[in-house]
Every structure is written in C-alpha cells, then in structure tokens.
Amino acid sequence: MMNRPPSGIRPPPTASRLPSGMPLTTNRPGTRGGSFGPGVLSYQIKVADRPVTQQGLSGMKTGIKGPQRQILDKSYFLGLLRSKVSELTTEMSKLKKEIDNYNQENSVYLSYEKRAEALALDIKEHQGQLADYNMLVEKQNTPPLHPQLTMSKHRKNGAHYNRINGYS
C-alpha cells in the first residue's frame, strides 16, 4: 500500500457531478436563512423604479411588435382610405339616428305643448266658474248684517221694479 491517502480524505469519483455556483446551505433558496453571494438574487429591487400606471404595475415595454410595412404603395393607401371612409359612414349613420330622434322628440314636444296650452285655458275657465260658485255659497251661508235694512231694500227694489214695469 503505497502513497495511499488517509481514509478520511478521498478523491472525488470521476463520474460525479461538479458542484453548482449555489452555496450549500440547509435552507431552501430564496428563504431568509440562506446566505447570498453576489448575483441577481442579492440585488435590492426598488419599487419606485418600476413603471406604475393607474391600473397597477405594467410590464416592460418591448420594442416595435414586428416589422413595419417597408413599401407604402397604392394598395396601402387605398386600405387606409377605405378604413377612414367606413369610419365616416358609421359616424354619419349615428348622427342621422340622433337627428331623427331629435325631430321625433321635438314633434312630440310641440303636440304636448299645444295640449298643455288648451288645458291651461280650460283650467282658467273652471277656476272662474268655481270662484262664482264659491261666492254664491258664501252669500247663502252668511246671515244678513241688518235684517231691517235688507227688508227695506227689498221693498224699495220691489217698488222701483213695479214703477219701471208699469204695475203700480
């Protein structure tokens, strides 16, 4: 037995794997007990550096989504023109519908306005009649202030009536 190393130290077998750059710890990676060396995981992320929108965090913006059209020929411009024409026709149809609705509402409003004017005149007439009837009811329900005065007025009126009509 020559140059044999002591039994506690053995050379690694030839078919073994090489260790990774991750340090050997008893904790799982990413938990607080482990020690981190230099690298991506030790980088402190600042929340203020991330892009924030009203809807929350947004992903990183990538560049242009594919190649753009290189040659702007006649068919390209015809396609643009057709899309704009279709947008205009849809907008015109929406406006036409709005105009039709407005005209219909306006005609209904005018008919209601005429009807309201007629009903207002009717109400005024009925209010006048009601005032007359209320006055008559009030006169019938109130006693005369001076009964002798009213009797003498009736006699005078009767005499005057007879004189005018020639009954005396």
- Name residues whose C-beta falls within 8 Å of residue 35's C-beta, 6 or more positions apart in sequence: 23, 25
Position with higher pLDDT, 47 vs 127: 127
Interval 29-48 mean pLDDT: 57
Q: Is the pLDDT of residue 154 over 80?
A: yes
Tell me the sheet residues that pair with 52.
57
Please provide the distance, in angstroms rounded to a whole number, between the alpha carbons at the two ends of the chain: 179
pLDDT digits (tens, 9 = 90+) for 4-20: 656 666 666 666 565 56
CA separation for the pair 143, 139 (Å, rounded)? 8
121: left (phi over 0), alpha (psi -120 to 50) or beta: alpha
Name which of 19-28, 70-79, 126-135 the model is least confident about.
19-28
36, 42 contact by CB (below 8 A): yes
**Average pLDDT over the chain, rounded to whole?**
78
pLDDT at position 148 is 74
Per-residue confidence band for 116, with pLDDT thresholds at 50, 70 and 90: very high
Six-digit token string for 76: 């390209």
How far is residue 55 from each of residues 1, 45, 51, 58, 59, measured CA to CA in Å? Answer: 75, 21, 11, 8, 12
Position with higher pLDDT, 145 vs 73: 73
39, 29 contact by CB (below 8 A): no
Q: What percent of the chain has pLDDT over 90?
A: 38
CA separation for the pair 39, 154 (Å, rounded)? 125
- Name residues whose C-beta falls within 8 Å of residue 41's C-beta, 6 or more positions apart in sequence: 29, 30
